[in-house]
Each structure stands twice: as structure tokens, then as C-alpha cells.
Amino acid sequence: MKNSPRIVIEPFYWKNSAGQSNIKIDIDMKPWTLNQLSVYSQNNQYDQVIKALFNHFNINVNLSKPMLIEMLTQTEILSSDDKVTTPEQKTLFSQKATAQISEFESSAKQNVFTSPTEYFLSNEKKAQLNEDIPILRWILVTKDNITMDIHYAGDELNMNNQAFKLVEFLINIGWMDNPSSQQAITPKTLPQSN
């Protein structure tokens, strides 16, 4: 990544008769080497990996639920072996699409900081484990929209209007251990490739 690529999609719109969704992406990368990233990761410095990879990134997703339901309904109708002609048939496909969106919402509304093993614990045990962990949803859901907004620059990460220091965020999601509780590892460098 010698040339510091920048990827910008601003905005990507998707529209149908029921609504409009859009996605905006701006990723500004830094030049980096595999050796540099290896040293950071071997020393549990995943915050430094991100700082070495990105100058900044912004990802904004705004999905219209009515638009998604209409899209899924039309996809089901078009892929059906039977010709769908009656309003009742169309309603059944729409109900199926609505159920799919609801299922997606419930899984995506989980707390970003929840460990996958917590799904097997009682609610009481989950509450004890998560006493000191902030609640942060992957997505925000309103009556008609599903949204996600992530901004990163320097040492700051803002997700869905909640600000974090990068290291704090990575510790909370379990991507790195608390640096104060770790002993530094002597880095192993990879041989330089030509």
C-alpha cells in the first residue's frame, strides 16, 4: 500500500417505489508494511494497526425499511416458480420480507460489546458481566429506517453518536487486551520480500 489509496463512495443511492436508501463511504489509507503491522499485532497493539492503516474512515448507512421490504418482496416474486398474480400472494411475500427484516434488526441491534459466549448465559449472569460495559448498538432502528454511522480519525472513534478512544473501543469489543495488563512481546519481524 505504498500509494495511500482513498476510497470514496458518496453517496450510493438505491431507490424503489417504497423508498430510498443510501450509503456513504470515505476511507483514507496510509502507506504501510506487513512487518510494521506484524510487530503491532504481536504486541497486542491493534489500535496501532488501525492507526497505521488509516488516516480516517467514515461509513454512513441509511436503509429505508419499506424500500428493503419492497425489494425483498419483488425478489421473491421474481424468483418464484409460480406466477404471482393475486394480491393475497403478494401479501404473503411481503409478510415474509417483513419477517426477514425484523430478524435482521433483532440480531443487528445486539450490543457491539457483547461477547458471543454471552448468548448462552442467563439474563442475570449477562447483567453481572456487562455491569461496567457501555451499551452500543451496531445499528439504530426507527419505525422506517435502519442506520449505522462510524467515523474514525486519529485516536477517536465515533459510532452511532457515541465517542470512544480507539483503544477503549477495541478492548470493549474484545479485539485487544487492556495494554496495562500485558507484558510486551519481543517482535518477530518477517523477512523483507523483493
Q: What is the pLDDT of residues 99-109, one digit of tens each?
A: 999 988 877 77
What are the distances in angstroms from CA 122 to CA 44, 125, 127, 172?
A: 31, 5, 9, 21
Q: What is the pLDDT of residues 133-148, one digit of tens each?
A: 556 677 888 899 999 9
Considering the chain, what is the average pLDDT of its residues? 82
Confidence check: pLDDT of 193 > 50: no
What is the model's pTM?
A: 0.72
